[in-house]
Structure 1
């Protein structure tokens, strides 16, 4: 019985830690890549977004 109680207490202690391992709410927004930019835009690695392509 003592081992079972200890394992339950350990799993309840680690549950919040494992939930945060996913990266949080903003993790999906930072997974943009150059191939996902629409036509006429380019990927800017500094900001992590697609910006309008300038022609010179």
Structure 2
């Protein structure tokens, strides 16, 4: 019984670390909302491009 309790406590203690690892690289992605003034989102290229002036 003591071994099962110890393993359960260890698993619960490690869960936040695994959750963080899943989301660690997702905050660096550029989106349409992060385009600077004078640029627009190009869905094909997946990046911001200069807005054509007309």
TM-score, structure 2 as length reference: 0.52
**Aligned CA-pair RMSD:** 2.8
Q: Matched residue pairs, number? A: 53
User: Aligned with 1:17: secondary structure?
Assistant: helix
- Larger helix proportion of the pair: 2
Structure 2 regions of 5+ residues with no counterpart? Answer: none
8 Å CA contact 1:30, 1:48 repeated in 2: no
**In 2 relative to 1, CA 19–36 (structure 1 residues): closer, same or farther, beyond 3 Å?**
closer
Structure 1 CA distance for aligned equivalents of residues 30 and 52 of structure 2: 24
Please report how far the alpha carbon of residue 7 of structure 1 lies from its aligned counterpart in structure 2 after TM superposition: 0.8
Aligned equivalents of 2:42, 2:11: Cα separation in 1: 44
